[in-house]
Amino acid sequence: MKINKITYLIIASFMLVFSACEPIVEEEHLVNSTNIDGVQLVATQSTPGGNEITIDMVTPGITGYWSNKIIGKKLTNKVKFVYPVPGKATFKYTGSLGAEFFTKTINVQIDKLDHPLDQDYYDLVGTNTTAGKTWVFDKGNAGNLWWFMSPPGSPDGAMSVWWNAGDCCGPSDANGKMHFDLNGAPNYTHYETSSAVGTKGAFNLDVINQTLTVEDATMLGSAAGNKNGVYTIVTLTATKMVLYLSNSETYGTGWTFVFRPE
């Protein structure tokens, strides 16, 4: 009998110990600090209709980021920049209300490019950004380097030649051209030959990361290109453009493209 009582006491003691060790969980439920209508986006231009723009999310308690095809993603509530394209521009803010995510946009009308663009834009599309600029392969004489295999992995080796393919086996659009302009949008047109009807697309010049992307059309010489249309800029001046792929999907190597203005 005494043994049974002792056993019960031991079991009861263990139950008290384990119950005392159970954590106390306080459940916290996220709540919205406002609704989407309460999120205020503000856009100001330093001059009326000008292209120097500040966009700002001014509602307290909201966190998020701005995004736009041309300016990319900006992980801050307030951004100031010079926009390169006249016309209506749309900027999207993505953020959290507290308990849920949201997106909201604001439009800005740009009537004049009264603040200078980054020099890369002028080199690519010309000083008359509306009219734009046409580029062709810099073929020159036999043996000239304009479309060739190069080491993969890094643009540092872009001008190292593994195989001068352009000297014997150029792409179908070797005598074609491509046109870039900022007439209401970043417009790109690819011409298979100098007299062919163009295929219209768009381009994105990433000045910070030094990449050039074409969409809905192909880059000149894309027989050695990649489906995503993203090229690393090795050289971009008013008279020369060198683009590079670190891994051509066609050849599995690096590939280099050399252009000049038409």
**Residue that is written with structure tokens 């966009």 in the block:** 55
Task: Give CA–CA dist 221/211, Å, rounded.
Answer: 17
In CATH, what number does 119-261 get? 2.40.128.280
How far apart (Å, rounded) are the C-alpha atoms in residues 48 and 31? Answer: 40
Name the band, by pLDDT with cuts 50, 70 and 90, for residue 28: low
Question: Between these two residues, 156 and 21, which has the higher pLDDT value?
Answer: 156
Can you give the residue ranges of every domain in the chain?
36-110, 119-261
CA torsion 97-103-107-108 (nearest 10°) is 70
Sign of CA dihedral 16, 18, 21, 27: negative
The percent of residues above 90 in pLDDT, for the chain, comes to 84
Residue 40 contacts by C-beta under 8 Å, 6 or more apart in sequence? 57, 58, 59
Q: Is the pLDDT of residue 37 over 50?
A: yes
**pLDDT range class, residue 2, cuts 50, 70, 90:** very low
Confidence (pLDDT) at 33: 84
How does pLDDT run across 213-241, given as a tens digit for each residue?
Answer: 999 999 999 999 999 999 999 999 999 99
Instruction: Give per-residue pLDDT as tens, 68-110.
Output: 989 999 999 999 999 999 999 999 999 999 889 999 999 999 9
State which CATH number among 1.10.8.420, 3.20.20.140, 1.10.645.10, 2.60.40.10 fits the domain covering 36-110: 2.60.40.10
Who's near 131: CB < 8 A, 6+ residues apart?
A: 181, 183
Stated length of the chain = 262
d(CA 13, CA 126): 85
Question: Does 36-110 match 119-261 in CATH topology?
Answer: no
Instruction: Tell me the longest C-alpha to C-alpha distance in the chain.
Output: 110
